[in-house]
Structure formats: C-alpha cells, structure tokens
Amino acid sequence: MTAGTLVRSARKSRRLTQASLGHRARLTQSHLSLIEGDRQNPSFDAVERALRGAGHRLIAIPTLREDTAAIAAEIRADLAHGRPERALRRFIQLNDNLTAEHGEVRFALAITEPESTGSKQWDAAIAALVAHHLDAEQLPVPRWATHPSRFLKRSWVFGAGPYSLAPELDHVPAAFRERRVLIDEDTLRSV
C-alpha cells in the first residue's frame, strides 16, 4: 500500500476533506493532495501526522500480504481502465491473502475501510469476502463491511464476463448471499 492510499483511505473513512485533515494534522491541503496522489514521497512524520489527524494509527503487522484497502484501490483502477479480468484476479488474490492469514493478522488485513471501487457490486463483493473470512474465525467484522452501502438491492452474479452463470443459492456463502453477491463457494477455495 502506498502512503497516498493509506492517507486517503483514513481521511475518507472519517469523511474529512483534505483541508480539514490538513488543519488537524498541521499540513497544507496542497501537501496532502501531493501525498494522496502519490506525487510525493512523504516523510514518515507527515504520514503519521496525517493518519493521527484522521484518528488512525500506523501499525506494523507480521505479513507481506497486501490488505483489503490496497487491493480495493487496485480493483478501482482496473475497473476504471476497463480491465474487469484483472480486477477479478486481484479479488482472488485478496481471497488468498485472507485465507493464508489467521487471527489478528487476518483481522488487520481487513480493518482499514477501503475506498469505493466505483462499483456498488464490487464494493459489496469485497465486504462479503471480508465478512466471510472473519466470520470463519469468529472475528469481529469491521463496521465498514456491514454498512448498508455494502449490500445490493438486486442480486449480481459475480464474474468478469457475460457468460458468468448464477450458482445454486445453497452454494453461495452466507456473507455473499446476505449482500446479494452470487458467487460459488468453490471460487473461494484457494488453489
């Protein structure tokens, strides 16, 4: 995850503007814009001040796997550039990352609220994936993953093409069924 993605996610999770975060963190709005746009390699102090201004802390976790917020940002870019197949691969990578970790590390990979991907369907799918993996270990599901905006009103067949078929409902994991994201549980089995 880049410093820009980290700061932007923290700011947006608190519904702050760059100007209001800048005031809290004693950074200029233009400096925050450069950081968030990954047009500057900020100092550790600037990142930490921005995060604290948004009510977040920077912590280290024992993993090299990318977290939900970082992968959601990559999915957003893929969708914006018309690459749904790449977005699908990144979603599967997030699934593999969450499958590989357990306990507090799994939770840490999911705690930061990701920015919207620009697609309600993909946002719901990411929330469902996080809830699915955290529920499996009876870990708390972050508030962002249970927000009404992460639930669809109409069912969506998860996939990257027009030939995606709806799975049998009894083959759709509960967290996905609740959010009306239709994905076969076999898709979530790590290879």
Model pLDDT for residues 108-130, shown as the tens digit of each residue: 999 989 999 999 999 999 999 99
- Cα angle 19, 24, 28 (rounded to 5 degrees) comes to 45
Q: CA-CA distance, 191 to 181, in Å (whole number)? A: 22
For residues 167 and 183, is the Cβ–Cβ distance under 8 A?
A: yes
| pTM assigned to the model | 0.83
Model pLDDT for residues 133-177, shown as the tens digit of each residue: 999 999 999 999 999 999 999 999 998 566 678 899 999 999 999
Q: Which domains does the chain have, with CATH numbers?
A: 3-53 (1.10.260.40), 68-188 (no CATH)
What residue type is assigned to position 94 of the chain?
A: L
Closest by CA to 87, choosing from 126, 136, 47, is 126
Model pLDDT for residues 45-91, shown as the tens digit of each residue: 999 999 999 999 988 889 999 999 999 999 999 999 999 999 999 99
What are the tokens at 117? 């991907």
